[in-house]
Chains A and B, each alone.
Chain A
C-alpha cells in the first residue's frame, strides 16, 4: 500500500481511539486505546502488517524526533523545575534500579518455579 493509504489507516485508528476516549467516563490516554485497537485489528487480520509497515517503520526510526517540541516546552516551566530540581533528579534516578529489581526478580522467580514444576513432572 502507498504511504498516504498507510497514513490514512494510522490516522483513522487515532481518530477512532480519540472518539472512544471521549466516551469513557475516566481519563484514559487515547494513544494507548489506539495502540490496543491497532493490535486487535492486526491480530484479527482486519489490518495486515504490509498495510502499515512503511509508515510505522519511519515513525519507529524517528520516534524521539516527535518529542523535541514537548521538551522545549520546558522553557515555559523552568520555575517549576528549578524549584524542585534536586528531588526531581533524585527520584528519577533512584526509582530506576527499584523498577529493574522488581521486574527482573518477579520474572526470575516465576521462571524458576516453572522449571521446578517442569522437572518434577
Chain B
C-alpha cells in the first residue's frame, strides 16, 4: 500500500499542489514578501519528505512532470513583451542599455565575488543568472553546468532583497526617473520586484515587467561567453 502510494507520480503532483495552496494561504494571511508561496511550499515539502524519511526520488516521479512546464512558462513571457511593445519602443535605447549594464554588472560582480570567496565552478554557474527570472535562470544555469535548485534559491534571495529594499535603493542612489526605477527593479529582482513596483507606480510596474524579459535575453547571450 505504502509502496504503491510512493511509487505513483500522483504523490509528487498532489503534494506540490497541496503545498502550493498552503503557501498561497500563508501569503494571503501574512502579506509578507518572505512568505511567498514558492518559499513556503518548498519548505513544507522538504520538511515533510525529511521528517517522514520519504526518498526524494518518490517525490521527483511527479515533481519532474511539472519541471517539463518550465519551457512553456518562459516562452509565454513573449506575450508580456508584445503587450508592452509601445512602451518598449518609446524607451528602447535607455532600457536596452540599462539592462545590458545591469546584466554585465550582475555577471561581473558574481564572478568577482565567487573568485574572491573561493567558490567552485558549479556554485558560480548556479549563481550567475541569479538576477533574471526563474524560468530563464534555470535554463542558463543548466547550460553552464549549474544546479537548478541552487539557482532558484539565489533567484529567490535576489528577488526578496530587491522587493524589500527597492524604495531604499532609489533614495540611496538618487533615482528620480520612474523609467529608470522600474527597469532597475525588474533587472535586479525580476517578478518579486515587479510586485513591489506595482505598489510604487504604473510606469515602474510596466518597465519592471519589460526588464525581466530584456535582461533574460541579454544574460542568456552574455552567458555564452562565460
B-to-A contact residues, CB < 8 Å: 12, 16, 19-20, 36-38, 41-42, 45-46, 49-50, 56, 59-60, 63-64, 66-67, 69-83, 85, 91, 93-95, 97-106, 109-110, 113-114, 117-119, 122-123, 127, 130-131, 134-136, 138-140, 142-144, 147-154, 156-158, 161-162, 165-166, 169-170, 172-173, 175-177, 179-181, 183-185, 187-189, 191, 211, 213, 216-217, 220, 224
Contact = CB atoms under 8 A, between A and B. Distances in A.
Contacts of A66: 66-67, 69-70, 73, 135
A101 B67 contact: no
B63 A65 contact: no
Contacts of A30: 71, 139
Contacts of B131: 95-96, 99
A51 B7 CA distance: 38
Contacts of B213: 35
15 contacts: A28-B220, A38-B75, A42-B82, A64-B37, A69-B59, A92-B161, A97-B173, A100-B169, A100-B185, A100-B187, A101-B184, A104-B98, A107-B183, A111-B94, A111-B179
Nearest to B164: A96
Contacts of B181: 104
Nearest to A60: B76
Given A77-B147, A92-B130, A111-B180, 18 more contacts: A11-B72, A27-B144, A32-B220, A35-B77, A49-B83, A60-B79, A63-B191, A68-B45, A89-B157, A95-B158, A96-B162, A97-B169, A100-B169, A100-B187, A102-B105, A103-B98, A103-B102, A105-B175
A76 B41 CA distance: 17
Given A29-B220, A102-B102, A103-B183, A68 B41 contact: yes
A74 B73 contact: no
Given A10-B72, A59-B73, A39 B66 contact: no
Contacts of B157: 89, 92-93
B140 to A, nearest CB: 6
Interface in A35-78: 35-39, 42-43, 49, 52-53, 55-56, 59-60, 63-77
A64 B184 contact: no
A107 B179 contact: yes
A87 interface: yes
Contact of B127 (A70, A75, A91): A91
A108 B177 contact: yes
A69 B113 contact: no
Label chain A's interface by main secondary structure. helix
Q: Looking at B72, B82, B162, which has the most chain A CB atoms within 10 Å of its CB?
A: B72
A81 interface: yes
B225 to A, nearest CB: 10
Using C-beta atoms within 8 Å of the partner chain, give the interface range for chain A: 35 or more
Nearest to B216: A32
Query: Which 7 A-B pairs give the minimum distances between C-beta atoms?
Result: A29-B139, A103-B102, A69-B63, A31-B74, A102-B105, A74-B149, A104-B184
Contact of A69 (B16, B75, B76, B85): B16
A1 interface: no
Nearest to B143: A27
